[in-house]
Chain A
Amino acid sequence: MLSVENVVSGYGETTVVNDVSINVAPGEIVVIIGPNGCGKSTLLKTIFGLVRPGSGKIAFNGEDITGAKPFELVRKGMGFVPQTENVFASLSVMENLEMGGYTIRAPDLEEIFRMFPVLEEKKKERASSLSGGERQMLAMARALMTRPKLLLLDEPSAGLAPKMVEVVMEKIKELREGDSSVLIIEQNAKSALSIADRGYIMVMGKKVFEGKTHEILDHKEIGRLYLGKRGG
C-alpha cells in the first residue's frame, strides 16, 4: 500500500529525517513512536508531499509518488490529519467537511455523521468554538470525507483527556473495518499500540526498531524509554 524507501528529508540545510524506510500493508494500522522533535511529523509531511525529500523513494499502491503534491495524493486516495491547526478554525463544522470533500462530487455525509454524531449536532458552529476532543473528531472527519485508502494521522490523541483518547482510538479501529490502512504517529504510545498491528520507533531522525505490537510492548528497553515502564 505504502512503501517509503531510504527517505532523507528536512528543512533547508538541516536534515531531519535520515534514511528511513517503512511500509504499510492494506488494512493495517501502523504506529510510529519517538521522542519529541525526532522527525516524526516531518516524515509524515514528506510522505504527503508537504516537504520535499532530498533523496529516497515513496510509492503508494505501487505508483511512485515521490515529490507529488498533496492535492494529487488526496485524489489518489491518501488522507492526512496534521498535528496542529488541523481544522479550518474560521469555517463552520459543515464547511470544514465540505472542504474535506472538495475533490468528490457527492460526499457521503450520512456515513460521517453516523461515525461522529456530535458533528451533526454542531454542524453550523464555527470550528474554533469546538472543544479539543470535538476538534479532533472534526479533523479526522474532514480527512475521511474522501474515504481515503490510507489515512496519515499525526498525534490524534495529543492534548486529549484519557476518555477522549479512547474514543479516538475506537474511531481509528473502525476505519480498518472499513478497509482503510492507517499510519499513526503517537507520543501516547500505549493507547496507540493497543490498536496497532505493527510499529516503528524513531530516534533523532532514524528508525531504530520495528516489529509487531507485542514485540514492542515486550521489549524491555523500549518499554523503559518510550512507554514509561519502570524498572527493567
Chain B
Amino acid sequence: MFLTQLVINSVVTGSIYVLIAIGLTIVYRVLKFANFSHAELITFGAYMAYIVNVSLGMDLFYGALAAFLLTGALGIATDRLVFKKLRKNGSNVISMMIASIGIGLVLRQSIQEKWGPNQVWYDIETRTFEIFGGSITEMQVYIILISIALILILHFMFTRTKLGKAMRGVSDNPQLAMASGIDTEKILLWVWFIGGGLAGIGGVFRGADTRLVPLLGWEIILSAFAVVILGGIGSFYGAIIAAYILGFAENFGVSILSDLSISTGYRPAIAFMILIIVLIVRPSGIMGKKEAA
C-alpha cells in the first residue's frame, strides 16, 4: 500500500538524518557554534567508504567503519588546525562559524578535484523485500538498524561511561569541568572524533540510499540543521525525535506536493519551512530549555 511505502521512506530518511544531526549537536553543545563544515565531513565519509568499497573491493560494512574512523580523524584535524587556534585567540562564535564555512569550501573543492563532479555509486547488492505492500531494500534495513544500534550505544555512552559523562560535563560547564580535574582539550578531541565519525556514517547511508556527488553533504546539511533546531539546539534526545519527525514531514510533504501537482523540487523547502516555523513558534525546540538534556 502507498501509505506503507511513505512510512518506510520516512523512517529511512529519518535514520539518515539522525546520526548526522547528533554529530552536529554534540559538537555544538561543547563549542557553541554551528559547524557548517559538517556538510563536507558527511561527503568525505561517503567517499572514504567508496575507496574501501569500490577501489579496494571490500564490503560496504568495512567502508562505513573506515568512514567513521577517518571522518572522525578529519574532525579532529579541523579542530587542531583551525578551531583550536581560534579558541586560543578568544575568537567569538561568529568567527568560528565563518571559519567552518571556509573549511567546508576547501574540503568540497578537494573532493571534487579528486573524484570529479559526476555521480558515482557504491558496489552493493540491491535485494528488495516486500512488507505490508511496501518495498524496502536490504541496504535500507541496514540503515535503519545500524542507526538504532548507534543511538543506543551513544545513549549508553552518555549515561553510563566516564567519557560520556565527562563530555556532558564539559558541555554543561567547561570551567567547572576543568576545576574537576578534567582535561577539557582531551575531551574535545573525543567530541570531534565522535561528531565527525557520525557525520561520516551518515554520508555513507545517504550515498548508499542515493548516489555519491561532491555536494552530497551540502544537499542534506540544511535538513540536519532543521533537525537540530527542531529538537532544541544541543539536545541529544530532541535531535533523535526531530530527525524522524523531519523524515516523515519531508516524505509526506513531497507526496502532498505531487498530489497538488506542485514540483517535488520543493522538497528541500520543507525542511526550511519547518525550520522557520519552529524559530517563530517555539524557538527552543521540542526538548529545548536553557539546560537541554
Contacts and interface: CB of A to CB of B under 8 A. Distances in A.
Interface of A: 48, 50, 69-71, 74-75, 79-82, 85-91, 95, 98-100, 102-103, 128, 142-143, 146
20 contacts: A71-B184, A74-B180, A75-B181, A82-B176, A88-B168, A88-B169, A88-B173, A88-B176, A88-B177, A90-B293, A91-B165, A91-B169, A91-B172, A98-B162, A102-B166, A102-B181, A103-B180, A142-B180, A143-B179, A143-B180
A95 B181 contact: no
A63 to B, nearest CB: 17
B175 interface: yes
B178 A99 contact: no
A79 B175 CA distance: 13
B168 A90 contact: yes
Nearest to B184: A71
Interface in B229-245: none
Contact of B165 (A70, A87, A98): A98
A95 B162 CA distance: 10
> Contact size class for B?
20 to 34
A86 B181 contact: no
Contacts of A79: 179
Contacts of A98: 162, 165
A103 to B, nearest CB: 4
B179 A91 contact: no
A87 B165 CA distance: 14
A50 B175 contact: yes
Contacts of A71: 178, 181-184
Contact of B180 (A50, A89, A99): A99
Nearest to A145: B180
Contact of A82 (B166, B175, B292, B293): B175
Given A48-B179, A86-B176, 7 more contacts: A50-B178, A69-B183, A74-B181, A87-B176, A88-B168, A128-B291, A142-B176
A75 to B, nearest CB: 6
Contacts, number: 74
Contacts of A69: 178, 183
B183 A89 contact: no
Contact of A102 (B172, B180, B293): B180
Nearest to B234: A90
A99 B177 contact: yes
Nearest to A128: B291
A89 B87 CA distance: 24
Interface in B133-173: 162, 165-166, 168-169, 172-173
Contacts of A100: 180
A118 to B, nearest CB: 20
B181 A90 contact: no
Contact of A89 (B162, B166, B173): B173
Nearest to B166: A102
B218 to A, nearest CB: 32
B92 to A, nearest CB: 14
Contacts of A85: 173, 175-176
Contacts of A48: 179
A80 B293 contact: no
Nearest to A146: B181
Given A100-B180, A102-B180, A90 B175 contact: no
A123 B174 CA distance: 22
Contacts of A75: 181
B291 A102 contact: no
A139 to B, nearest CB: 9
A1 to B, nearest CB: 19
A109 B197 CA distance: 36
A79 B181 CA distance: 9
A69 B177 CA distance: 12
B291 A89 contact: yes
A103 B162 CA distance: 11
A80 B173 CA distance: 14
Interface string B178-210: 111111100000000000000000000000000
A8 B7 CA distance: 65
Nearest to A98: B165
Contact of B181 (A50, A81, A87, A103): A103
